């Protein structure tokens, strides 16, 4: 699944949510210099936000299609799995990863981050957890249960989005602790909202991991059902996002 997102890289870049500027600024302020490594850079969504904040960013992604689009958008991006990527002696003031660290081995990834971070550099991992109002959440879940019974999407409707990301943060924190190279991980949270029209949400939906590998007929049925639910809610909705971040500082010792 980690390599399925590049099947429509242009749509991914166009529709995926960005991240709060307050979080970007906090990471920049806490790092050890303006050089940032973006792990799982995808099309460069995160990287462009850090560049706008005055950073120099290098991206690494396992998917050549995503990295190619990132390069066409002006990002310096290399293709590799982060755990085996060769930094070639380069070091960074911060290592960041938006919406991707759950595809990285938590121990090997944290160890590689420690290898490339300068002393007092920051490892910051973050995810966007989005959830509409309860009645629309249930309407979406009913579509998923009908069209895709037993699927990840069908199961997601029963739990809060924030709770759904808790295992990712816990696993990442465990990997960071196991290296012995970082301070105790801190959890940050940034709440914000974004309004979607029906067409904007249906444009984004196929980029989500639960849907990237669906047969076309099933995807069309999902889109029709979700579109009807949004129409019934007035043709648009507000998504409440919580950006959940895990941050740890590289210790001074080598």
Q: What CATH number matches the domain at 5-249, 3.90.1150.10, 3.40.50.150, 1.10.10.10, 3.40.50.1100?
A: 3.40.50.150
Q: From residue 210, how far is each of 175, 195, 214, 222 by CA, in Å?
A: 25, 22, 8, 11
Mean pLDDT of 15-24: 97
Which range among 11-25, 118-132, 140-154 shows the weakest confidence by mean pLDDT?
140-154
Torsion (CA) 200, 202, 206, 208 in degrees, nearest 10: 70
In percent, the amount of the chain with pLDDT more than 70 equals 95
Going from N- to C-terminal start, the domains of the chain cover 5-249
Q: What pLDDT does residue 123 have?
A: 98
Mean pLDDT of 45-72: 97
Q: Is the pLDDT of residue 76 over 90?
A: yes
Q: What pLDDT does residue 157 have?
A: 61
Q: Is the pLDDT of residue 209 over 90?
A: no
More confident residue, 151 or 82: 82
HEC profile of the chain:
CCCCHHHHHHHHHHHCCCCCHHHHHHHHHHCCCCEEEEECCCCCHHHHHHHHCCCEEEEEECCHHHHHHHHHCCCEEEECCHHHCCCCCCCEEEEEEECCHHHCCHHHHHHHHHHHEEEEEEEEEEEEEEECCHHHHHHHHHHHHHHCCCCHHHHHCCCCHHHHHHHHHHHHHHHHHHHCCECCCEEEEEEEEEEEEHHHHHHHHHHCCCCCCCCHHHHHHHHHHHHHHHHHCCCEEEEEEEEEEEEEEECCCC
Q: What pLDDT does residue 211 have?
A: 85
Would you say the pTM of this structure is higher than 0.75? yes
């Amino acid at each position: 699944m980690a390599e399925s997102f590049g099947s429509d890289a242009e749509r991914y870049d166009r529709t995926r949510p960005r991240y709060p500027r307050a979080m970007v600024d906090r990471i920049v302020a806490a790092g050890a210099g303006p050089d940032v490594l973006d792990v799982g850079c995808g099309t460069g969504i995160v990287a462009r936000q850090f560049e706008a904040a005055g950073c120099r960013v290098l991206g690494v992604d396992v998917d050549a299609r995503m990295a190619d689009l990132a390069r066409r958008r002006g990002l310096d991006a290399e293709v590799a799995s982060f755990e085996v990527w060769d930094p070639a002696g380069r070091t960074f003031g911060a290592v960041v990863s938006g919406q991707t660290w759950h595809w990285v081995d938590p121990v090997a990834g944290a160890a590689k981050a420690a290898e490339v971070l300068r002393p007092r550099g920051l490892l910051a991992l973050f995810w966007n957890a989005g959830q509409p109002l309860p009645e629309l959440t249930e309407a979406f879940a009913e579509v998923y249960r009908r069209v895709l019974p037993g699927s990840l999407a069908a199961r997601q409707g029963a739990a809060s989005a924030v709770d759904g990301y808790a295992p990712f943060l816990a696993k990442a924190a465990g990997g960071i602790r196991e290296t012995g190279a970082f301070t105790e991980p801190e959890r940050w949270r940034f709440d914000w909202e974004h309004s979607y029209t029906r067409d904007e949400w249906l444009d984004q939906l196929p980029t989500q991991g639960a849907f990237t590998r669906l047969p076309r007929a099933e995807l069309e049925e999902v889109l029709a059902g979700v579109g009807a639910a949004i129409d019934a809610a007035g043709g648009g909705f507000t998504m409440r996002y919580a950006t959940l971040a895990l941050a740890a500082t590289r210790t001074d010792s080598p």
